[in-house]
Structure formats: structure tokens, C-alpha cells
Structure 1
């Protein structure tokens, strides 16, 4: 039933728990995981220079930083999945995380999305993170939320 699993990660501790759960699920059903990390695009307008002050933002350095950050998140998450023995592949996209996650899940016909929730305090622990919440409400397939 859940043989094609999309695991959305941001590298957080909750996302690593989700990776363990996805790996365990995939191992039980002979499923395959696609590990997806989505990074917000660099917003150059947020760094407009003030008169007389040049920020000196180098788009190539920003792109390299994004790639290196994505690689680090994917590697850390991959280690968790490897420990479960599950089969997986990794990918990195740039865009609005909820929209990209939902789009990839739908266009590539995933059976389930696995994603971590997040809690920032006693009250927030009852609430889903904004990315998770948007994915849950927009996804065409079941979403397994891990706390």
C-alpha cells in the first residue's frame, strides 16, 4: 500500500525521527523512499543595499552555500535511513517547501508523504509546523506526521 514513500526533511531532530519511521515503514513493505529536501529560494530583494553601503552578495557563493547546506541535510538524513536497511534515493529542490513537496508527491504518484511536525514550546507542541500543516491540507495522498 505505501510502497512509494516521499520523505520530506529539513534536517531537524523531528525530521530525523520521521526518517527513522519512513525507513522502518519501507523495510516492512519493501517500499522505496525518495528523500526530499526543499530550500527556500534566495531572495535578493531582502538584501537590497542601502545608499552608500554595498552588501556585496555574490550569487555564486549563495548558490554554493545552498548546495552545501542541502548536501549536509541529505547526508545526515540518509545515515538514519541507511540504518533501517531501506532503499532510497535523494533529491534537492529550490522553492516553497509546502508547494514543492505536494507537487512532487502528486506528479510522481507517491503513496504517502512522511514528514516531521515541530513543537517550539508547551502550547506549540499541540500544533503542527507551518510546512507540515500546509502539506497535510494540500496533499492528494496520505500524510504520516511524526512528532
Structure 2
């Protein structure tokens, strides 16, 4: 198996995301692999994403635009913490259901490794929420490295 040259790092913007990014950079460095960090924002199923959000003195924006702007700001803050990245690095927010969006980005970007976090939910929460990481591992066209985010954040 060849060394990775393009690594996709999906993040959920939780507390463990910075540790996940730091780990991916350390793994990419010896191979000079390019990193792409993405956050997949999933529109809510119970509210139309084009619903307008407004407050006094504020221009009306769609719910999707407000959410994507907030996610972009949070992702930019994560990326700003990386001082002089030792590998090529880019980041962006994509809109869509997490699993299918991550798989699509990985295939379109010809990524040869996905590094992502898992929360380690068990029982009813896992049954109700599903596991994005589990679905990615099962369906990805390339190897997937999962890290338990609570362990990585320590």
C-alpha cells in the first residue's frame, strides 16, 4: 500500500477537533501529505434551510447561511491555531448529510486516507443517532483511521 498523499480530516467542531487535526498533521508530516479539513453541516430535517432568521438591526439571512457562517467561523478559528502548517493544508465547510458528504468529498478529492474522530456512543444514543464513523469505515473507498475524540482531547 502506498504512503498517503492526500488526507481528508472531517471534524464536527467539538472539543476534540483540535486534537484530531494536530494528530493528522503529525501523521501527514513524514509523507508531506496534503490535508483537507472539512466540516459537513447537515440541514435540519424539521426546519426548511431557507427559513429566514432575523433580529432587530440585523439583515435577514437563511438558516442555512447563518449556520454555515457560524461553522466557517469556528473552522477558521481551529485552522488559525495551526502555526505555519508543516504540510499543505486547506479547510472548508460543506453542506449535506455527514456520511454521504464526507464520502463524496473523499472520492472527488482523490483522498487516500480519512482520519476522523468517534465519540464512542453506545446503546440507545448510538442506535438513535447512528455512527457517522462506522458508516464511513464501511463504505469508504480508502483506509479510514478513527480516533476516540475524548481520549485524543486529553
Q: TM-score, with normalisation over the residues of structure 1?
A: 0.77
Q: Which has the higher helix share?
A: 1
In structure 2, the residue matched to 1:11 is: 13
1:143 shift after superposition: 0.4
1:140 shift after superposition: 0.8
CA–CA separation in structure 2 for the residues paired with 1:75 and 1:37: 11
Q: What does 1:1-147 align with in structure 2 at a 5 Å threshold?
A: 1-43=3-45, 46-47=46-47, 57-58=51-52, 60-82=61-83, 85-120=86-121, 130-147=131-148
In structure 1, the residue matched to 2:57 is: none
1:47 shift after superposition: 4.2
1:92 shift after superposition: 1.4
CA–CA separation in structure 2 for the residues paired with 1:62 and 1:74: 18
Could you say what the CA RMSD is over the residues aligned between the two structures, in angstroms?
A: 2.4
CA–CA separation in structure 1 for the residues paired with 2:47 and 2:94: 22
Q: Which has the higher contact order (CA 8 A, sep 6+)?
A: 1
Gaps of 5+ in 2: 54-60, 149-154
Q: CA 1:47/1:117 → structure 2, altered by over 3 Å: closer, same or farther? A: closer
Gaps of 5+ in 1: 49-56
Q: CA 1:145/1:29 → structure 2, altered by over 3 Å: closer, same or farther? A: same
1:25 shift after superposition: 1.4
Aligned length: 132
